[in-house]
Amino acid sequence: MKSLLTFLAIAAAILPPAVQAQSVVNAATTPTRQGMAQLGDPYVPAHVKAAARVAATPAAAGASLQERALQKLQAKFSEADSNDSGSVTKAQAQQAGFGFVANNFEQIDVNHAGRVTFDNVKAYMRANGANF
């Protein structure tokens, strides 16, 4: 904390007023390069390093990205499902340019029905590390 106050005092003396205001906002809301570099210091306790890394990563960003990815996947699946049957054949996937399903069709089609549903696609993705 003392080093942050010293840094801010030096910055206030050196930087123009517009930059000073932005620096104070950045120092309060985001980890600085200097602060992140100190996390590499072997004398900084592991729990302090872990807390700083968690604080530097916005929690909602991961969930919203996953949701957007799932929505895009659903849209592509709906595009490939040309007859609105709720399932897609390998030929439909290839025709729609849905290469992920077309290339992995045999693994996704666990029932060997010749058709896969969106739930089959999600189950395959979860089995291979997807987080939705």
Q: What is the pLDDT of residues 17-34, one digit of tens each?
A: 554 444 444 444 455 555
Helix (H, G, I), strand (E, B) or coil at 130: coil
Residue 75 counted as domain residue: yes
Distance of CA 1 to the CA centre of its chain: 31
Do 51 and 67 reside in the same domain of the chain? no
Do 51 and 66 reside in the same domain of the chain? no
Tokens of 118: 């969106």
- pLDDT in the model for residue 64: 82
Do 67 and 114 reside in the same domain of the chain? yes
Q: Which residues pair with 94 in a beta bridge?
A: none
Question: How many structural domains does the chain have?
Answer: 2
Residue 132 counted as domain residue: no
Residue 24 counted as domain residue: yes
In tens, the pLDDT along 71-97 reads 999 999 999 999 999 999 999 999 999
Do 19 and 75 reside in the same domain of the chain? no
Q: What CA–CA distance (Å, rounded) separates 52 from 36?
A: 8
Residue 66 counted as domain residue: yes
Last residue of a domain, one of 57, 72, 96: 57
Do 53 and 69 reside in the same domain of the chain? no
What single letter denotes the amino acid at residue 19? V
Full domain range(s) for residue 14:
2-57
Q: List the one residue out of 82, 105, 84, 103 whose CA is nearest residue 92.
A: 82
Give the mean pLDDT of the chain: 76
Is pLDDT of 42 > 80? no
Among 42-56, 71-85, 95-109, name the one with the lowest average pLDDT.
42-56
- pLDDT in the model for residue 52: 73
Residue 85 counted as domain residue: yes
Distance of CA 40 to the CA centre of its chain: 24
